[in-house]
Amino acid sequence: MNKGLPTIGLLLLTAAVMVSGKLQGQELDCQVSVIAPTVNNMEASVFEQLETAITEFMSGRRWTMDEFTLEERVTCTMQITISKATSQTNFEGTIQVQSSRPIYNSDYNAPVLLVNDNDFDFSYAPGTLLQYSNDQFRDNLTSVLAFYAYLILAMDYDTYSLEGGTNLYSQAQTVVTNAQGLSSPPAGWSASDGKQSRYSLIDNILSQTFRPLRRCYYEYHRMGLDMAFDDPAVARQSMSDALIALRNVHRIRPANYNLQTFFQAKKDEIVKMFGPAAEGERARLLPVLKLIDPGNIPIYDQGLG
């Protein structure tokens, strides 16, 4: 699928596809890790089977109608940490989800999403095939996985074209809506579950208030990082403008979850990109970063001060 690669890169990619003769429908290349460091009442093989089942669910399923080549698949990881097995099939834990996308004319993969979800209770019976339906809530495990599959793809699309991930964000919102149809939804799906929930994450990103963040994903990556090889100064200007525009989101919704997840993924990259910049560039950006991402002030002071 052409997500906005420069013409030369697209031609090279097309040539590679013609040589390989293969098109892959699946969009995700997801590496899954399931660990249970404190669980002693379960066989390790259960978690190994779960890891395999989730990997096949994420990477073997088609999530869109677009065709992806092997080179275009979105790289992502999931680390599931199980803290408790309340029965032979019921588990409590957390899930960390990360994704990245390649930067044009480089061997660098830029982080796009980094989120830690602490509301992850689910059921799984070894040997069970994970099944998901777009029009109903079947179980919490597949619903959480599907939610993050759509979120990963939506954010990836947003980095290649302005608001390109809207339909996929809507799919993620449908997962939330299906869960809310239950008389007692599991944690993470409702407004009452707090400001750092799956509900809040998707409700925010589809609101008018967060359009500057979606524009930032596009301009920061497509107009910034993708152009850094050809003209680093112009690339940094685009990135800086996009970051500074996030003040509009912060002014209306300070300390919101979506900005926190953005900077959790991007803080080190921002320092790496702007550390070598001229003092004037750093001075322009630094106070804005400290305003809208106060949790990482020491990192910015050390790297950009």
pLDDT of residue 25: 64
The candidate with the shortest Cα–Cα distance to 268, out of 100, 154, 133, 143, is 100
The candidate with the shortest Cα–Cα distance to 181, out of 133, 219, 227, is 133
pLDDT of residue 1: 64
pLDDT of residue 243: 98
Rounded to whole angstroms, how far apart are CA atoms 265 and 116?
11
pLDDT of residue 24: 52
> What's the Rg (C-alpha) of the chain?
20
Rounded to whole angstroms, how far apart are CA atoms 204 and 256?
9
Under 8 Å between Cβ of 80 and 33: yes
The answer to whether the pTM exceeds 0.95 is: no
* ∠ Cα 246 247 250 (to 5°): 95
pLDDT of residue 54: 98
Rounded to whole angstroms, how far apart are CA atoms 154 and 147?
11
> In the chain, which ranges are E strands?
28-35, 74-85, 90-102, 109-123
pLDDT truncated to tens, each residue of the chain (305 aa)?
656 544 434 333 333 333 333 445 699 999 999 999 999 989 999 999 999 999 999 999 999 999 999 999 999 999 999 999 999 999 999 999 999 999 999 999 999 999 999 999 999 999 899 999 999 999 999 999 999 999 999 999 999 999 999 999 999 999 999 999 999 999 999 999 999 999 999 999 999 999 999 999 999 999 999 999 999 999 999 999 999 999 999 999 999 999 999 999 999 999 999 999 999 999 999 999 999 999 999 999 999 99
First and final CA of the chain: distance in angstroms?
A: 41
pLDDT of residue 2: 54
pLDDT of residue 3: 60
